[in-house]
Amino acid sequence: MEKKKVLIVGGGNAGLSVAAQLLRKNKSLDVQVIEPSDKHYYQPAWTLVGAGIFDIRKTVRNEADVIPAGVKWIRDAITEFEPEHNRVKGKSGESYTYDVMVVAPGIQLDWQKVKGLRENLGKNQVSSNYSFDHATYTWDMIKNFTGGVAVFTNPSTPIKCGGAPHKIMYLACDYWRKKGILDKCEVHYISGGSVLFGVKEYLATLQKVVEKNNIHLHLGANAVEVDGINHILYYEEKSADGQPVRKDIHFDILHAVPPQSAPDFIKNSPLADPKNPHGYVEVDKFTLQHTRYANIFSLGDSSNAPCSKTGAAIRKQAPVVVENIISFFNQQKLEKEYHGYSACPIPTQYGKLMLAEFDYSNKPTMTFPFDQAKPRWTMWMLKKYILPWLYWNKILKGTA
Ligand SMILES: Cc1cc2nc3c(=O)[nH]c(=O)nc-3n(C[C@H](O)[C@H](O)[C@H](O)COP(=O)(O)OP(=O)(O)OC[C@H]3O[C@@H](n4cnc5c(N)ncnc54)[C@H](O)[C@@H]3O)c2cc1C
């Protein structure tokens, strides 16, 4: 009998988690991953790289070394979907067919939507932990800062790891306090979001951190342009009658996070959710099956499941996708459900971290038998040592 073929688009956190777990459940499947990059990144540690406490080289491995045993890696980039024919096209000109497809090519960083941002990254005191190439420059800026205006931005679009734009700000403030210069620093958070954090139990903790560090919050304010030479950030706020008002702020250092959306080849495909302004893959938010193409599933940053986009979310999504694919092949009802679990480990200072866990209802879903809204040293150790180990040794191998 011919093997059933599962084609996975994207060999990142989500794609490899599903590939490894699928083969553990059913060795008779033909599992293939299409991934253009020869490098695989552990992105959650980039915040720690920017804070000077994690070696950037430990956040990257060769893709060939992390592809799960038994999985075939096709080095190509998908450019087009033909779901009516169970076929996709690659940049190489090749076409690939499948019985079931899993779509997991991550999220696109739209640097160009903030004029001048990409051009200034890594120079003129402008950085971003969202770039492997520049996270170390963030640390250079923080370490060498002697006082002045420090600006941190967060876009209005959904992003991967909603906490990352402010995590680095709390660590920077703590570093400057310990260096004895915090009273010479004027710290601004310019965020397109309407709140600092969406879950009120965790928000209360962060508000105290903001107060303690005397951070100036600008909510509903969207960065639009960086003038690196003159150290000016332009941003837009809405006036009382809803009109955009352009403002500017001088910075001595700037940590910027770009707007994000589904990769263009997803946005422009029949798989995209036509109602989603960011073009994510349209799935049932519980089964993660495509709402129009029954043999397509999607998870991770590229799906329109209305959860917070994190690796932690993928840990709960991957087993759901795997079980439901197996049920699909067995022509059974898809019974496994994902309920929006996500986690955001937010360091509030060096050595202390609040592990915010929540679900679709934005209610805390705490794993540990203590109040996780309280920042703790144990949770810091989890983020710094245990989670990276778990990622490389268990999650990518399909055993956690
Ligand atoms: C600074 C930062 C801090 C973060 N902190 C945390 C944290 O503390 N906790 C947490 O849980 N998460 C965190 N995250 C988020 C986490 O890294 C992502 O949610 C996770 O990596 C998403 O996995 P994914 O597989 O959907 O996408 P990715 O891991 O980005 O993988 C997508 C893959 O698809 C490939 N691809 C792209 N285009 C194509 C194509 N055309 N064809 C085929 N393949 C393609 C890419 O090369 C890539 O390998 C953080 C992210 C950042 C940037």
Q: Which atom of ligand 1 is nearest to the CA of 42?
A: 17
To test the ligand 1 pocket, which listed residue (160, 255, 278) has its Cβ within 8 A of the most ligand atoms? 160
Distance between alpha carbon 110 and the CA centroid of its chain, in Å?
Answer: 13
Q: Do 93 and 116 belong together in one domain?
A: no
User: Does residue 299 have a pLDDT over 70?
Assistant: yes
CA distances from 313 to 168, 170, 338 (A): 21, 23, 9
| b/e code 105-116 from CB counts within 10 Å (16+ = b) | bbbbbbbebbeb
CATH number of the CATH domain containing 270: 3.50.50.60
Asked whether residue 243 falls in the same domain as residue 131, the answer is: yes
Output the pLDDT for position 275: 95
Same domain, 61 and 128: no
- Of 340, 361, 395, the position where a domain reaches its end is 340
When pLDDT is averaged across residues 204-218 and rounded to a whole number, the result is 98
Rounded Cα gap, residues 391 and 400, in angstroms: 8
Ligand 1 centroid–CA 335 distance in Å is: 27
Residue nearest atom 4 of ligand 1, based on CA coordinates: 44
Is 375 within the bounds of a domain?
no
For residue 187, CA distances in Å to 166, 177, 212 come to 11, 12, 12
Q: Is 331 left (phi over 0), alpha (psi -120 to 50) or beta?
A: left
What is the pTM (predicted TM-score) of this model? Answer: 0.97
199 lies in a domain? yes
- Tell me, yes or no, whether 360 lies in a domain: no
Mean pLDDT of 65-76: 98
Same domain, 327 and 290: yes
Q: Is residue 205 part of a domain?
A: yes
For residue range 5-50, list pLDDT tens digits in order. 999 999 999 999 999 999 999 999 999 999 999 999 999 999 999 9
Please tell me the distance between residue 304's alpha carbon and the centre of ligand 1 in angstroms.
15
Instruction: Supply the DSSP symbol for 372.
Output: T
For ligand 1, atom 23, name the residue with the nearest CA: 13
Over residues 90-108, mean pLDDT: 98
Residue located nearest, by CA, to atom 40 of ligand 1: 77
- pLDDT of 224-277, one tens digit each? 999 999 999 999 999 989 899 999 999 999 999 999 999 999 999 999 999 999
pLDDT digits (tens, 9 = 90+) for 146-171: 999 999 999 999 999 999 999 999 99
- The pLDDT > 90 percentage for the chain reads 99
Coil/strand/helix, residue 123: strand
185 is catalytic: no
| End-of-domain residue from the set 303, 325, 340 | 340
Tell me if 298 CB under 6 Å of ligand 1.
no
Q: Which of 25, 3, 18, 71 is nearest to 298 (CA)?
A: 18
Which pLDDT value is given to residue 1? 66
Catalytic residue among 161, 173, 185, 307: 161
Residue 389 domain flag: no
Whether 76 and 34 have beta carbons less than 8 Å apart is answered as yes
Cβ of residue 161 lying under 6 Å from some atom of ligand 1: yes
Q: How many domains does the chain have?
A: 2
Which pLDDT does position 68 carry in this prediction?
A: 97
Do residue 245 and residue 267 come from a single domain? no
Query: What range does the domain containing 320 cover?
Result: 5-107+262-340
The pLDDT value given to residue 2 = 81
d(CA 328, CA 324): 6
**How high is the pLDDT of residue 389?**
98
> Does residue 167 form part of some domain?
yes
Q: 104: CA distance to ligand 1 center in Å?
A: 9
- Cα 181 to averaged position of ligand 1 atoms, centre (Å): 35
Question: Measured from the CB, is residue 311 less than 6 Å from ligand 1?
Answer: yes
Rounded mean pLDDT of the chain? 97
Domain-located, residue 365: no
254 and 115 inside one domain: yes
Catalytic residue among 173, 185, 307, 344: 344
Question: Which of 8, 43, 255 for a ligand 1 pocket mutation test, highest count of atoms within 8 Å of Cβ?
Answer: 43
**Residues 241 and 318 grouped into a single domain:** no
| Six-digit token string for 358 | 């929540």
Task: Give the mean model confidence (pLDDT) for residues 330-342.
Answer: 98
Q: 288 and 244, same structural domain?
A: no
> Would you state the pLDDT for residue 176?
98
Q: How many CB atoms lie within 10 A of CB 212?
A: 15
Residue 390 lies in a domain: no
Q: Is 164 in the pocket of ligand 1 (CB under 6 A)?
A: yes
Dihedrals φ, ψ of 78, to 5°? -70, 140
Region 97-122 average pLDDT: 98
User: Measured between alpha carbons, how far is 228 from 257 in angstroms, rounded to an integer?
Assistant: 15
Residue 193 shares a structural domain with residue 206: yes
Could you tell me if 224 and 329 lie in one domain?
no
